[in-house]
Structure 1
Amino acid sequence: MSATGQIFIEALDLYAYHGHFAEEGRLGQRFSMDLVLDCDLRASSVSDDLADTVDYGEVVALVTRTFSAKRFKLLEAAARALADAILAQYPPVTRVSVTLRKPSPPIPGRMESVGIKLDFQREA
């Protein structure tokens, strides 16, 4: 029986100082992100042991550290840094999808958010 699947973290809200405009770097803003990690979940589905899977609490801590470690001008660069950190730390993860949103972008118009979605796959 196969039990490959995905671990997901939805609507993780973090405050950071990213953005192209000087005000974004000075004032900071909220960001919301979704992460989807493709990995083999067979062992943990049988053992019921956290040691046999990717601990999403640890992933949240890694993402939080990585997201606030430096200032990114573009969401694309921040998403790549998050995916690189996850893939480096967790060998069982084969693919990472990162969705990043700015809920209050500093641009004219009424909108809920702006953002990007990028998919990254482990190099063979």
Structure 2
Amino acid sequence: MKMDRMSFFGKHGVFEEERKLGQRWYVDLDMQMSLQEAGLYDDLEQSINYALIHETVRVIMEEESYLLVEALAERIASVLLDTYDRIEEITVRVTKPNPPFDIRFEGVTMEIVRARAEEVERGEG
């Protein structure tokens, strides 16, 4: 399941003015999960509700604040993996479209891929 170009107004960045004034941000998600049961049975319980995913990301983007785009992407991945058991692997792409630098380019994008860690049973030796 992909969710592309979600738009948020967040107060993130290294510069104090960025955290004070805020700016537009974009988030793309690519979530790997089994959706066969949802498709076969037309059952939302066998999928994930993308409105709830959007709200989870909105809270992180608009109600929290981070200095680094890297930290923002890690937080989104971590929360979504912890909250939604169906997600096996997630790619999070966070874009800051108009960074306040003296050089000209369209934006900064951070992309990370995270997977659910398998629990390993440890026996006493």
TM norm structure 2: 0.90
Query: 1:67 offset after TM fit, Å?
Result: 2.1
The aligned residue for residue 86 of structure 1 is: 80
Do structure 1's residue 24 and structure 2's residue 18 form an aligned pair?
yes
Is the contact made by 2:9 and 2:61 (CA closer than 8 Å) also made in structure 1? no
Aligned residues, how many?
118
2: CA distance, partners of 1:26 / 1:61 = 23
Counting only pairs closer than 5 Å after superposition, residues 2-17 of structure 1 correspond to structure 2 as 7-17=1-11
Choose which of 24, 33, 40 in structure 2 pairs with 1:39: 33
Q: What's the secondary structure of 1:72's corresponding residue?
A: coil
The aligned residue for residue 4 of structure 1 is: none
Is the contact made by 1:35 and 1:96 (CA closer than 8 Å) also made in structure 2? yes
Give runs of ≥4 in structure 1 deviating > 4 Å: none
Choose which of 57, 72, 77 in structure 1 pairs with 2:71: 77
Is the contact made by 1:66 and 1:85 (CA closer than 8 Å) also made in structure 2? no
**Residue type matched to 2:112 in 1?**
L
Do structure 1's residue 102 and structure 2's residue 83 form an aligned pair?
no
- Structure 1 or 2, whichever has the larger Rg, is 2
Percent of paired sites with the same residue = 28
The aligned residue for residue 118 of structure 1 is: 112
- Higher strand fraction (1 or 2): 1
Query: 1:77 offset after TM fit, Å?
Result: 0.5
Unaligned runs of 5+ in 2: 119-125
Unaligned runs of 5+ in 1: 1-6
